[in-house]
Structure formats: structure tokens, C-alpha cells
Amino acid sequence: VFKARMGLGATRSSGRCPCPWQCSLNWITFKGWVRSVRSQKEVLFLHINDGSSLESLQVVADPSLEKRDLTFGSAVEVQGKLVKSPHKMQNMELQAETIHVVGPCDIWSFPLKMKERHPLEYVRQFPHLRCRNNTLGALLRIRSEATASIHSFFQDNGYVHIHTPIITSNDCEGAGELFQIEAKESVEKSHFFNVPAFLTVSGQLHLEVMAGAFTHVFTFGPTFRAENSQSRRHLAEFYMVEAELSFTESLQDIMQVMEDLFKTVTSTVLSKCPRDVELFHKYVAPAQKVMHVTGKNCNPVIISYSEAVEILKQAPQTFTFKPEWGCDLQTEHEKYLVKHCGEVPVFVVNYPYDLKPFYMRDNEDGPQHTVAAVDLLVPGVGELCGGSLREERLPFLESRLQRYLDLRKFGSVPHGGFGMGFERYLQYILGVDNIKDVIPFPRFSHSCLL
Ligand code: 4AD
Ligand code: MG
């Protein structure tokens, strides 16, 4: 309780309070980084932040404790008595007895400045320091809570967590956006694994294997795509949440899990990190565009791909890519569809057979041939999740793919699943424009800092 209230930087000090009663009550050591120094004639004020929340602890000290290297950005260890603050701004303050500068900070070359709200594009240049910035600090705490909440959501609903491999010999999506891996010091010229090996683009095929023994499985790990894109929603390394459900024959079941996951995780994040989220909604999300991520505004609508194309064809605006049945939905189309539906999440179901990967289930529906696929589009971001029923029928698959087939020979059941891009999720709930600002160390084409 003490740590939760005081932050991670606080420990009860072993020393004795120098008061006449030598009490040890509220006598603490607090460690963190200086956010502000204000020196007055009678008193020295410091604000120290230990990363546990946006709030810094106010330290009051005798001006004699001021030192030259006690500056903004320095790391300090303060011993003193924690008391109720007479100032309205904070609950508690620390009356310092000793202040030890553990690591001084060269403020002239330190790129972050005291009490300045730096733009995200600016702090992005300093991947090794931006975690000390309020916005990135808040983001990283939210990311951590959201991660824990995603795991709890699945565990609470009976899913088994599977560590799907990062090194794989398949190209699940068949889109060819693969990073190939080789041992650096290849003794022979042959492949290390005897076969070409890649960084995973999706854990789906491994989850499908496991869905042959457990009815509900999930994975949540790093995913890699050699997408030659600098766009504000693509990374070369991102985190994907994936779930696979056996014994399901309806896309509705899959959509329900996506929706429940989104609502549960979002309400947990809002209740556990209200101040961190507020920072984004107040200062980061584009003006007048704060995402309403709870309540009625997050109740999704469902339309078919064919309906979506009709809506786009009747749109009063012209698109760079002319909407046509059989063509992929472009970002501009996704944006229009979300707006058309009232800026709420939109499930688009039943895509053309020829647009989607081999594993999606054939709807056997005549000339406009579709598969049981679903994409979830959300305001400001576009595609957040992609999923489908899987083709579990051997003859249907035989015509498409030779591998994957064995799985269908030994107790094959109808199943389906989906993947959600974790960074896009954070972008959406926080209203962050660029995906590079919701991951600690962004990797994208032509950039791999640190
Ligand atoms: O739609 P995708 O490609 O679906 C799959 O990979 C399926 N195998 C998942 C499954 O059914 N198990 O990717 C899923 C989501 C996308 O909707 C998007 O949110 C995110 O992953 N995503 C990316 N996020 C950041 N950068 C990229 N380059 C991304 N590519 C996909
Ligand atoms: Mg997709």
C-alpha cells in the first residue's frame, strides 16, 4: 500500500527520524529524477518523479541543501519525513534532511527542458531519453496496463496462452512481407535451419495447431512485416494479439470476442490510468477529435463488403482509388465508411475470395465469390483487427494449398480467429496520430535507432 501510494521510488528508510522522539514513522527515502527546482530565500522546493505516475513528489528543504549539480534531470535520493502538505496542490510532501545527487544531468545538452510540453515528433528523435517525457511516460504506463489487461481478459475467459514462435518457416498471410533470417557467421552457405526461415508475420498457424487440442487459445507477441512503408499506421515490428476459437461456425462469435476484448481492456485502462489517459485526450488527440471509446460510441455496426462498396460508390466525394467490387479497401475508403456509419467502429464482413489469404473459409456464394472474413475499422486509425473463419474442409483447401492440409485430416473442427494490432489499439483509444509514438522503440523502413 505504501509503495502504491508513494510510488516505486519510495522505501522506508532504515535510519531514524532526527525528531526529539526519534520516530521511524513516515521517515522515508525517495529516489527519482528531478522535474523542477525552485530555490527561494527561505526554502528550496523540488519536484521528483519516479515514473510511477504523472505526479511528482514535492520535496521541501533548507536552502543549505542546494548543490550545483542538483538540477532538472538529475537522479537523486532524498531522505526525510513525509508529512501532510499545507499546500492545496498536493497531498503529501517530503521534508528533506539529506539530498544525494546520484547522477548529475548536463542540462545544457539534455534535450528535454523543464516545464516544456515537447511535441511528439521532437521527442521521437531521442529514443533513449523520451521515456523521461510526461507523454511517453504516460503512454508506457498505459501500454503496460493494457498488456496486463489483455492477458487477464483471455485467462478469465478460459483461453490458454501459447508462446507461438518468432522464427518460423511459413508466410502465414502469403503477402511476402517477410524478413528472412540467417546465422551471421554461416560456416557453410546452406540455411541454418535447412529451410528458409523468417521472422513471424502472424502466430495464427501455430495457434490453429493448438486449437486442435484446446478449444480457446491466444498469443500476444512481437510480429514483423517488411512493409516498405513510413505510414502513420505501419511498423516493421509491432505487437499482435491473436485468438483462435475451435468449434465455432459463426463470424458473429469471432466479432463478439473482438468487441468484448476491446471494451474490457479499454475500461480497465480508463479506470487504472485515468490521469495518463486524460493527458492524451486533452493535449495529444487532435482538437475536437477526442475519441469516445466507451459508452454508446463504441457499439460497432456490421456491414458486408458488398454493402461497403455500394456506400462508397454512392459517396458524394471522389476517391483517389475508384471503389469497385473485388478491389481492396484503401485507407480513404475505410475513413469514409467509418464517417458514414457515424464515427463508430465498423465490422466489414464477407470479403471477395480473391482478396484474402488461403486459410479463410469459402462462403460458396455464387458469382460474387466471398470468404467468411471480418475486418474491424475504427475512427482515426482504420483497420484495427482482421480475422476470419478458417477453411477446415480438406477438399476446399486442397485446391489452394498443399501444406496446412495435415491439420485437416486428424479431427478437424470448424474454427476461426482474429488478430488485433496492439499499437493501433493504443493509437485509437488515446487519439495518437502516429504509430511511432505508441511503442517504446519504433522500427520502420530506414530506421532502427538503438
Ligand atoms: O489483418 P492482419 O494481417 O491479420 C493477420 O495477420 C491474421 N493472421 C490474424 C489472425 O487471424 N490471427 O493483421 C492483424 C492486425 C491488423 O488488423 C492491424 O491492426 C495489425 O495487425 N497490423 C499492423 N500494425 C502495425 N504495423 C503493421 N505493419 C501492421 N500490419 C498489421
Ligand atoms: Mg488485415
One DSSP character per residue, 3-58 reads HHHH-TTEEE-SS---STT---TTEEEEEEEEEEEEE-SS-EEEEEE-SSSS--EE
Contact 45, 92 (CB under 8 A): no
SS3 content of the chain, % helix, strand, coil (to 5): 30, 25, 45
d(CA 141, CA 270): 12
d(CA 314, CA 336): 11
Pocket test of ligand 1: the residue of 240, 244, 371, 444 to mutate, having most ligand atoms within 8 Å of its CB, is 240
Low-confidence ranges of the chain (pLDDT < 70): 1-25, 186-189, 287-297, 399-403, 406
Cα 376 to ligand 2 centroid, rounded to whole Å: 9
d(CA 264, CA 153): 7
CA-CA-CA-CA dihedral for 343, 349, 354, 357, to nearest 10? 90
Please give the pLDDT value at position 2: 46
Which residue's CA is the closest to the ligand 1 atom numbered 7?
A: 419
d(CA 430, CA 59): 32
Which tens digit of pLDDT belongs to each residue from 382-412? 999 999 999 999 888 776 666 577 677 777 8
- Per the CB < 8 A criterion, the answer to whether 387 and 248 are in contact is no
Ligand closest in space to the Cα of 211: 1
C-alpha–C-alpha distance, residues 73 and 96, integer Å? 19
Q: What is the pLDDT of residue 258?
A: 97
Residue 208 and residue 357 in contact, taking contact as beta carbons nearer than 8 Å: no
Domains in the chain, start-ordered, CATH in brackets?
2-115 (2.40.50.140), 130-437 (3.30.930.10)
Nearest CA to ligand 1 atom 25: 234
**Which is the closest atom of ligand 1 to the Cα of 418?**
11
Strand arrangement of the beta sheet that strand 301-304 belongs to = 160-161, 216-224, 237-246, 415-421, 382-389, 370-378, 346-352, 301-304
Closest residue CA from atom 23 of ligand 1: 421
> How open is the CA angle 191-195-199, to the nearest 5 degrees?
90
Rounded CA gap, 5 and 11, in Å? 11
What is the Cα–Cα distance from 435 to 248, expressed in whole angstroms? 33
Cell 530565500, located at residue = 41
The CA–CA distances, whole Å, from 186 to 4, 178, 179, 197, 370 equal 50, 20, 17, 14, 45
- Quote the CA–CA distance of 152 and 203 in Å, as a whole number: 19
The model's pLDDT over 207-243, given as tens digits with 9 standing for 90+, comes to 999 999 999 999 999 999 998 888 999 999 999 999 9
Task: Tell if the pTM clears 0.95, that is, is over it.
Answer: no
CA-CA distance, 209 to 365, in Å (whole number)?
Answer: 28
Instruction: With CA atoms as reference, report the closest residue to 34 among 2, 78, 90, 95.
Output: 78
